[in-house]
């Protein structure tokens, strides 16, 4: 088994936390993992992204040029990363900040998740990245949702513990969104 993911958005959207959570969940499942974070000179509001590689075999490099899956949390990320998704790959888009009319690829699967709306509905827009991560986990099976939830306490700092229950609910809501069949743009690839 091998999969890779790139998560991208503005600093402060929880992009790096989503990548770290996925990495911890994969390690809990005894998989090999690399987590490669990157962000611009101004963390909050600047570009932030991370790459996560998960495999049952040793991983040669954390660098991924054309990822199998990309989660984009905003329009600039959609515009820059959609072209890099492998043909037949998966693109998960925060539909509240990146309109589907900007998506051009017809050779990939796409899931447009109203992540900010769902996050606000459960109590805080700060957990939108967890909504998209829940959608990713449900769509790919890269790790189990339960393992991701059980690793939340390892990555959430004391300062943000008040959001722990919201993070869990956000993961569940993202997974439910995919289970309910809400693929808002069907490209014909299943």
Asked whether residue 184 is assigned to any structural domain, the reply reads no
How does strand 90-94 pair with strand 69-72?
Answer: parallel
* Count: domains in the chain: 1
Look up the domain containing 75 and give its range: 2-179
Query: At 103, which CATH number?
Result: 3.40.920.10
Asked whether residue 188 is assigned to any structural domain, the reply reads no
pLDDT of residue 40: 63
Collapsed DSSP state (helix, strand, coil) of residue 110: strand
Residue pLDDT tens, the chain, 190 long: 999 999 999 888 889 999 999 999 999 999 999 999 987 665 556 788 999 999 999 998 888 999 999 999 999 999 999 999 999 999 999 999 998 888 999 999 999 999 999 999 999 888 999 999 999 999 999 999 999 999 998 888 777 777 788 999 999 999 999 999 865 444 333 3
Asked whether residue 187 is assigned to any structural domain, the reply reads no
Asked whether residue 147 is assigned to any structural domain, the reply reads yes
Asked whether residue 120 is assigned to any structural domain, the reply reads yes
Mind listing the pLDDT tens digit for each residue in 120-142?
999 988 899 999 999 999 999 99
Query: What residues pair up with 7 in beta bridges, in sequence order?
Result: 50, 71
Residues in contact with 165: Cβ distance below 8 Å, sequence separation at least 6, in sequence order = none
Asked whether residue 170 is assigned to any structural domain, the reply reads yes
The two structure tokens encoding residue 89: 């790959």
Asked whether residue 189 is assigned to any structural domain, the reply reads no
Contact of 76 with 45, CB cutoff 8 Å: no
pLDDT of residue 125: 82
pTM score > 0.85 for this model? Answer: yes
Asked whether residue 75 is assigned to any structural domain, the reply reads yes
């Amino acid at each position: 088994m091998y999969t890779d993911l790139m998560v991208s958005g503005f600093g402060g959207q929880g992009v790096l936390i989503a990548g770290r959570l996925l990495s911890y969940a994969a390690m809990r499942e005894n998989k090999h993992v690399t987590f490669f974070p990157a962000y611009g000179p101004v963390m909050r509001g600047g570009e932030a992204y991370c790459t996560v590689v998960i495999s049952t075999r040793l991983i040669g490099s954390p660098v991924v040029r054309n990822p199998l899956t990309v989660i984009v949390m905003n329009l600039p990320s959609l515009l820059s990363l959609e072209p890099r998704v492998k043909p037949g790959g998966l693109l998960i888009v925060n539909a509240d900040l990146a309109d589907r009319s900007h998506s051009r690829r017809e050779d990939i699967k796409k899931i447009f998740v109203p992540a900010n709306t769902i996050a606000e509905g459960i109590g805080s827009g700060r957990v939108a990245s967890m909504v998209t991560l829940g959608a990713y986990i449900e769509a790919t099976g890269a790790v189990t949702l339960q393992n991701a939830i059980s690793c939340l306490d390892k990555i959430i700092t004391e300062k943000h513990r008040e959001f722990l229950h919201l993070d869990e609910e956000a993961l569940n809501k993202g997974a439910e969104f995919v289970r309910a069949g809400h693929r808002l743009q069907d490209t014909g690839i299943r």
